[in-house]
Structure 1
């Protein structure tokens, strides 16, 4: 049965609860669109092309979730599903399913090692079977990508979770997924490895519920995130208003 979708600008977001997603996720690519992704989809046709190929596109942003609930009172998104919530929930859901074995790709050498240890400890088994911290610029090196592909292929992993930032993680997944025949599920998970390692902290629940997690992240990493949050993402509100007024035109 086709999954219900809601159009936010030029992205069709799948309208699922987290539990519904966990129950039906047996294969495919999972991406978690947030405002930064939606703004990139306005100007990057290749990123848009890849996004349309994803099997699951679920709402990562509390702001998008709240706006949708405000403007679509009878048919709004069921849930905000962040990658940082979904991935640990997926691990917990499959903690007794030994067919699920995960390869973590991303983070620093210390953070990915710690994240793997923490995930395995919290789930009572080695659900993360291997991990790797790729060097800076790895996605531009065919030789390095080949080494990563070989390592993943030689592992027992059936799930690949890539946390190297967007659009790098999505580009790498779609470029190489056909060669990773042992991998059934691909996650693009952003900063989740750092969250799982404890090197980055999630915002308090009250901030998340009010749509202020971006502000908490900005305070943690101002140099990296200031331009993204305060300049690049700001036009989203205007574009969304135009969509509600029937004035928005898809760039392609």
Structure 2
């Protein structure tokens, strides 16, 4: 009899501690919302109520943040394994139901990103019909409301929805879809992971992802954009030292 992989409660969120294949099997069977929290967004857990709500109401949270995993494994006697969004996506794209036209709707960040991502997917033998690509508007910080996306998903009813927009926003969009769709697909918030494969962002080799070096590749590729972002993520250390497994108090 198969057993469900364990979870570890970190900052009040139950993080999945299993393989990419196990996570995908759960999503395929049960549907719902999968989130891939990264340190630059996690550091705002105590001051961003909508982001916090999305993580707490996700059906599966995976340990993409190398920084979080390193801190946790220094603080606690029982370590947790890292499962990056990139590793998860690589495994997801091998699944036959993901490769089937009309079974997945992709939410893209911009027309330029969409073209690069779709061209790369086509080279992998994954052809996405035009109606199954949705260009995300600029959602901003206000509560998300996207009736056009809801209408399309309810009409097409794909089994999977893959969200490739930025962290902090994609989780809020995923929860909006989970709460408002007329059916329950698997919603995979994988953010920039596909960009590391398609060339829309710097290419990150498997070995670099395995050894927690993806952030370094991004920082070398776009230092003005990513060095301040990752430097700001250092605030996660203090939050984890204070709270460990507890949900941080929400600041006004």
**Do both share a fold (TM > 0.5)?**
yes
Unaligned runs of 5+ in 2: none
Q: Specify the alignment match of 2:39 in structure 1.
A: 35
2: distance between equivalents of 1:142 and 1:9?
A: 24
Range that drifts further, 234-243 or 12-21: 234-243
| Alignment CA distance shift 1:160-1:76 (3 Å) | same
TM (norm. structure 1) is: 0.80
Residue 104 of structure 1 contacts residue 116 of structure 1 at CA under 8 Å; is this kept in 2? no
How many pairs are equivalent? 245
Helix, strand or coil at the partner of 1:25: helix
Q: Does 1:76 align with 2:76?
A: no
Shift in Å, 1:2: 6.7
Shift in Å, 1:6: 1.4
2: distance between equivalents of 1:218 and 1:142?
A: 30
| Alignment CA distance shift 1:249-1:148 (3 Å) | closer
2: distance between equivalents of 1:20 and 1:100?
A: 24
Helix, strand or coil at the partner of 1:154: helix
Shift in Å, 1:102: 1.1
Q: Specify the alignment match of 2:248 in structure 1.
A: 250
| Alignment CA distance shift 1:21-1:36 (3 Å) | same
1:62-141 correspondence runs (5 A): 62-73=66-77, 75-77=78-80, 79-94=81-96, 98=100, 101-122=103-124, 124-126=125-127, 130-137=132-139
2: distance between equivalents of 1:210 and 1:192?
A: 16
Q: Specify the alignment match of 1:10 in structure 2.
A: 12
Unaligned runs of 5+ in 1: none
Shift in Å, 1:250: 2.7
Residue 93 of structure 2 contacts residue 99 of structure 2 at CA under 8 Å; is this kept in 1? no
2: distance between equivalents of 1:104 and 1:41?
A: 27
Shift in Å, 1:235: 1.9
1:139-150 correspondence runs (5 A): 145-150=146-151
Out of 45, 50, 63, which is 2:54 matched to? 50
Helix, strand or coil at the partner of 2:202: coil
TM (norm. structure 2) is: 0.80
Q: Specify the alignment match of 1:240 in structure 2.
A: 240
2: distance between equivalents of 1:239 and 1:125?
A: 41
Shift in Å, 1:229: 1.2
Q: Specify the alignment match of 1:217 in structure 2.
A: 218
RMSD: 3.2
